[in-house]
Amino acid sequence: MKTFEEKWTAWIDGELSGAELAEFEAALPDRAAAEAEKGNAHKLGAFLKENMPARAMGNEEFFHHQLRQGIAADARTAAPEESAAARPAFWPIGRLVWVGATSLAIFCVCAFFVMREKAPTDQSQYLTQILNARVDPALGPNATISMFELKEDKVTVLWTEGLQSLPSEYATK
Protein backbone atom coordinates (compact mmCIF):
# COMPACT_ATOMS: atom_id res chain seq x y z
CA MET A 1 0.00 0.00 0.00
CA LYS A 2 1.67 3.20 -1.18
CA THR A 3 1.45 6.34 0.89
CA PHE A 4 0.24 9.59 -0.64
CA GLU A 5 3.85 10.86 -0.81
CA GLU A 6 4.97 7.80 -2.72
CA LYS A 7 2.07 8.03 -5.17
CA TRP A 8 2.60 11.74 -5.63
CA THR A 9 6.29 11.25 -6.41
CA ALA A 10 5.52 8.42 -8.81
CA TRP A 11 2.91 10.60 -10.50
CA ILE A 12 5.37 13.51 -10.87
CA ASP A 13 7.95 11.17 -12.42
CA GLY A 14 5.43 9.48 -14.70
CA GLU A 15 5.78 6.16 -12.93
CA LEU A 16 2.06 5.64 -12.35
CA SER A 17 0.07 3.84 -15.00
CA GLY A 18 -3.18 2.05 -15.66
CA ALA A 19 -5.72 1.77 -12.91
CA GLU A 20 -3.33 3.21 -10.33
CA LEU A 21 -2.91 6.41 -12.36
CA ALA A 22 -6.65 6.79 -12.98
CA GLU A 23 -7.42 6.17 -9.32
CA PHE A 24 -4.80 8.68 -8.16
CA GLU A 25 -5.89 11.40 -10.57
CA ALA A 26 -9.55 10.86 -9.71
CA ALA A 27 -8.72 11.28 -6.02
CA LEU A 28 -6.96 14.64 -6.54
CA PRO A 29 -9.12 17.42 -5.03
CA ASP A 30 -7.81 20.09 -7.41
CA ARG A 31 -6.48 18.62 -10.62
CA ALA A 32 -5.35 21.98 -12.03
CA ALA A 33 -3.31 22.83 -8.92
CA ALA A 34 -1.77 19.35 -8.95
CA GLU A 35 -0.77 19.73 -12.60
CA ALA A 36 0.79 23.10 -11.77
CA GLU A 37 2.77 21.45 -8.94
CA LYS A 38 3.87 18.74 -11.31
CA GLY A 39 5.12 21.34 -13.79
CA ASN A 40 6.83 23.12 -10.94
CA ALA A 41 8.66 19.95 -9.90
CA HIS A 42 9.80 19.38 -13.47
CA LYS A 43 11.06 22.97 -13.64
CA LEU A 44 13.03 22.40 -10.47
CA GLY A 45 14.58 19.24 -11.88
CA ALA A 46 15.57 20.98 -15.11
CA PHE A 47 16.91 23.96 -13.16
CA LEU A 48 19.09 21.76 -10.97
CA LYS A 49 20.34 19.78 -13.94
CA GLU A 50 21.26 22.94 -15.81
CA ASN A 51 22.95 24.69 -12.94
CA MET A 52 24.77 21.74 -11.44
CA PRO A 53 27.03 20.64 -14.28
CA ALA A 54 29.45 17.80 -13.73
CA ARG A 55 32.34 19.22 -11.79
CA ALA A 56 35.65 18.40 -13.44
CA MET A 57 38.08 16.72 -11.13
CA GLY A 58 41.38 18.51 -10.78
CA ASN A 59 44.71 16.65 -10.69
CA GLU A 60 43.41 13.44 -12.19
CA GLU A 61 46.87 11.94 -12.53
CA PHE A 62 47.65 12.77 -8.95
CA PHE A 63 44.33 11.21 -7.96
CA HIS A 64 45.39 7.92 -9.57
CA HIS A 65 48.86 8.18 -8.09
CA GLN A 66 47.46 8.72 -4.60
CA LEU A 67 45.03 5.87 -5.03
CA ARG A 68 47.77 3.50 -6.16
CA GLN A 69 49.84 4.50 -3.16
CA GLY A 70 46.85 3.91 -0.89
CA ILE A 71 46.34 0.45 -2.38
CA ALA A 72 50.05 -0.36 -2.00
CA ALA A 73 50.03 0.84 1.62
CA ASP A 74 46.95 -1.26 2.28
CA ALA A 75 48.67 -4.30 0.77
CA ARG A 76 51.73 -3.70 2.97
CA THR A 77 49.65 -3.53 6.12
CA ALA A 78 47.56 -6.52 5.05
CA ALA A 79 50.64 -8.68 4.33
CA PRO A 80 51.95 -8.95 7.94
CA GLU A 81 48.42 -9.66 9.13
CA GLU A 82 48.06 -12.43 6.56
CA SER A 83 51.43 -13.96 7.44
CA ALA A 84 50.53 -13.76 11.12
CA ALA A 85 47.24 -15.45 10.35
CA ALA A 86 49.01 -18.10 8.28
CA ARG A 87 51.54 -18.80 11.08
CA PRO A 88 50.16 -21.45 13.44
CA ALA A 89 49.48 -20.53 17.02
CA PHE A 90 52.18 -21.55 19.56
CA TRP A 91 50.21 -24.50 20.96
CA PRO A 92 47.50 -25.48 18.50
CA ILE A 93 45.20 -28.39 19.33
CA GLY A 94 46.99 -30.78 16.96
CA ARG A 95 50.34 -30.07 18.49
CA LEU A 96 48.95 -30.46 22.01
CA VAL A 97 47.49 -33.85 21.11
CA TRP A 98 50.75 -35.07 19.60
CA VAL A 99 52.82 -33.88 22.53
CA GLY A 100 50.36 -35.46 24.97
CA ALA A 101 50.34 -38.78 23.13
CA THR A 102 54.14 -38.86 22.87
CA SER A 103 54.55 -38.06 26.57
CA LEU A 104 52.10 -40.78 27.52
CA ALA A 105 53.91 -43.31 25.32
CA ILE A 106 57.29 -42.40 26.86
CA PHE A 107 55.81 -42.68 30.35
CA CYS A 108 54.33 -46.10 29.58
CA VAL A 109 57.62 -47.41 28.18
CA CYS A 110 59.58 -46.16 31.22
CA ALA A 111 56.99 -47.52 33.65
CA PHE A 112 57.09 -50.90 31.90
CA PHE A 113 60.87 -51.21 32.24
CA VAL A 114 60.93 -49.94 35.83
CA MET A 115 58.15 -52.31 36.89
CA ARG A 116 59.70 -55.25 35.08
CA GLU A 117 63.10 -54.78 36.79
CA LYS A 118 61.78 -54.31 40.30
CA ALA A 119 58.99 -56.84 40.49
CA PRO A 120 60.97 -60.12 40.78
CA THR A 121 63.61 -58.82 43.21
CA ASP A 122 61.51 -56.66 45.51
CA GLN A 123 58.66 -59.08 45.96
CA SER A 124 58.80 -60.75 49.35
CA GLN A 125 59.00 -64.49 49.30
CA TYR A 126 56.44 -64.44 52.08
CA LEU A 127 52.90 -63.70 51.31
CA THR A 128 51.27 -62.20 54.33
CA GLN A 129 47.60 -62.68 54.81
CA ILE A 130 45.45 -61.62 57.65
CA LEU A 131 42.78 -64.19 58.16
CA ASN A 132 39.82 -63.83 60.46
CA ALA A 133 41.17 -60.59 61.78
CA ARG A 134 38.15 -60.16 63.95
CA VAL A 135 38.47 -62.52 66.82
CA ASP A 136 35.57 -63.20 69.13
CA PRO A 137 35.65 -60.25 71.64
CA ALA A 138 34.67 -62.67 74.42
CA LEU A 139 38.04 -64.37 74.03
CA GLY A 140 40.05 -61.19 74.12
CA PRO A 141 39.02 -57.60 73.35
CA ASN A 142 42.49 -56.71 71.97
CA ALA A 143 43.16 -60.00 70.27
CA THR A 144 44.61 -60.05 66.75
CA ILE A 145 45.47 -62.93 64.55
CA SER A 146 47.76 -63.11 61.50
CA MET A 147 48.74 -65.93 59.21
CA PHE A 148 52.00 -66.05 57.26
CA GLU A 149 52.32 -68.45 54.41
CA LEU A 150 55.52 -69.46 52.58
CA LYS A 151 54.18 -70.86 49.35
CA GLU A 152 57.38 -72.48 48.08
CA ASP A 153 57.80 -74.60 51.22
CA LYS A 154 54.06 -74.87 51.81
CA VAL A 155 54.48 -73.64 55.39
CA THR A 156 51.86 -71.58 57.18
CA VAL A 157 52.55 -69.70 60.41
CA LEU A 158 49.64 -68.58 62.54
CA TRP A 159 50.47 -65.61 64.76
CA THR A 160 48.07 -64.57 67.50
CA GLU A 161 48.29 -61.85 70.13
CA GLY A 162 46.18 -60.90 73.12
CA LEU A 163 44.52 -64.26 73.58
CA GLN A 164 44.18 -65.92 77.02
CA SER A 165 44.09 -69.30 75.37
CA LEU A 166 44.01 -70.68 71.84
CA PRO A 167 40.48 -71.45 70.70
CA SER A 168 39.85 -75.10 70.12
CA GLU A 169 39.08 -74.64 66.43
CA TYR A 170 42.62 -73.21 65.85
CA ALA A 171 44.23 -76.27 67.37
CA THR A 172 46.63 -78.07 65.12
CA LYS A 173 45.07 -81.07 63.55
Partner 1 sequence: MHTEATPAQADVSELDLVQKCQAGDTEAFDQLVSRYRTRVFGMIYNMVHNEQDAWDLAQDSFLKAWKSIGRFRGQSSFYTWMYRIVTNVTIDWLRKKQVKGSGAEFDDAIQMKDIDPASRTVPKADALPHQRMEQGEVRARIDEAIAQLSPEHRAVILMKEIEEMQYHEIAESLGCSIGTVMSRLFYARKKLQGLLRDLYENV
Summarize as ranges the residues that interact with partner 1 (CB under 8 A).
2-3, 5-6, 8-10, 12-13, 15, 40-41, 43-60, 63-64, 66-68, 70-71, 74
Closest by CA position to 143, among listed 118, 164, 126? 164
Question: Which are the contacts of 158, defined by CB distance < 8 A and separation ≥ 6?
Answer: 145, 146, 147, 170
- Judged by CB, which is closer to partner 1: 76, or 173? 76
Distinct helix (H) and strand (E) counts, the chain: 5, 3
- Judged by CB, which is closer to partner 1: 41, or 163? 41
* Minimal distance, residue 62 CB to partner 1, in Å: 9
Closest by CA position to 24, among listed 44, 9, 39? 9
- Judged by CB, which is closer to partner 1: 35, or 117? 35
* Minimal distance, residue 56 CB to partner 1, in Å: 5
The secondary structure of 7-70 as a DSSP string is HHHHHHTT---HHHHHHHHHH-S-HHHHHHHHHHHHHHHHHHHHHSPPPPPS-HHHHHHHHHHH
- Judged by CB, which is closer to partner 1: 3, or 164? 3
- Judged by CB, which is closer to partner 1: 51, or 165? 51
* Minimal distance, residue 7 CB to partner 1, in Å: 8
* Minimal distance, residue 25 CB to partner 1, in Å: 17
* Minimal distance, residue 11 CB to partner 1, in Å: 10
Burial of residue 28 (CB within 10 Å: 0-12, 13-18, 19+) is: middle
